[in-house]
Chain A
């Protein structure tokens, strides 16, 4: 039976050209919403109503870069949500709220409070944008879907929100089975030169510097395997600083590769071909790359900060992101584990079972329950 409640989902992150954390979470839930015939979902870009075929195309292409002209046309055609339509409806926001108290009930997906807790890793514009809005967003929200226990804990501790209003969303994964199959058939892990992946945008918070420092202290690490930094260039000119540091300490930079932004297929291929992955971030709201790597059967040398200890503890070797010796020790343990485990021999059904254990339907069930609950 279709619910009588009209639910809106504000999906502006899907209009970004390259999807990373926030768009990926938004897409996972939007996909489930589009397939849920029991709930009357409509989709918004801020207050612009979106046609379902546009949402379908965004989800199919996994990029939003070409759709801005559509938004301009929608504004011109006055495809705007009215207060009357919103009054008896609910709305889920993926990050910051474009509108407050416009709907009968409002929920928000909270990713992290890094701009407050670790402002040194953000530009002043980002801090101003988020910090100036967050209190008003929280005060006007009825339900908080936090991407991790760590984010929920920060919400309760710093904003004193009632605990019953905050839930931890089980973040899902969307990995293409065709890419997994191709990598296994190509025997990527066995046929490629050995390497490890360092995952994350090249910016200060992601802490790529510690891996460079590891290589400087232990050059035998680079002799055993290449190091591939997978991620687009972020702010603060971090990549140039890392490469300048490499040159200054005489490290063979030919064995260190910066991939830049790579499409999803290439990212999965790189993870599946690696010996293990390294995620040295100082602070995360969740850490999707850790979940992806673990699902694909790769051990992760993972920072022990914030949410990262929750993501895949059974596949992680934790280290202190401010301590190079701690990283070195974790890498040694990962190498031993790779040598002795049978994970490299996994076939598709085993990997798919791990990927499906993190499907989006569990997170969506939580959202649907809120839509129908009336609270």
Chain B
């Protein structure tokens, strides 16, 4: 049958040439679109490393010191520290609250991210030569930070509850599994040290107090090298967020209704006041909105091109069924079943889409060798800096990345072509051989 299929395609090469050209061009366009979507969706599917269910954030602001409502006696470091602790205790005592912590940040939701990347070293030259910048997340010790977020520690590290009781020094560090593996391989990193050179050119050693499971600090960003370092004092009182974990079994909607009223009335202490209460899931949805939109646009354009492809295939093959009626009639006369006819036509579509997808992917490869995959660029831009910062995955390996996306493109194109051919194939396979041969 394959011989017949190839022969048929070759003999009608001028007619199927249009479809073949379109398939090649669409393959190349879809490669870019599928690349963007695949990388984004893959990153989103990775575990975050924390539990965002039943978590909400309360924005706590301070009155401006220039306003009359602000009291001078509350505008001292001691007063700010004391009142935020009082607020935290009050929130913890609210019915339905399992745990609570606080972070000081205006835009993150997992802690204050350091905009700089730290170039950490272990002292082992072989490892340090593969240096990667590490993204630093700040947390406040003794505030149940890890338990509230549901960040788990690994074997050989203190538990999250034990971490809350630890006295952290300003240079201590909690690293993720990925960072521990990069520097120390399979050895337990707890107790070991990393160092960096600060802006004064001093060497700062950071003892590792614990290793936590890999954490993605924003839902749409890929996993990158991350460590947690403690704040020993509050730097910016104006941007506090209380992180509240609600007890299991408590309805979030009901909880938020009562809790918002509670925060408006009760969380006015010192120069602090409560502004809003939002669930972490809502904040995550807002933060990833732009990338979700980009992904949606890529998917819509993919659907657009596939519909066009399907229409073209249906139209072209349907118009050709008229001229192939006698051929099918002869085949039926010689014992071919309806399924044989359909299989032959579907086989033609399969060969066409396979050849076109191969040519299209090879042509795109030439472009990709000169530039870079759009998906990889997207992943790196989302990671803030460069690919050494990212956790190893198929996205970063050229060969693997090319194969994965090419296979996805091939599958999508082939399914579309087969779907488009099935309708005319079904129609022509049902033709009566006598009617088909009448005009012969």
A and B associate in one complex: no
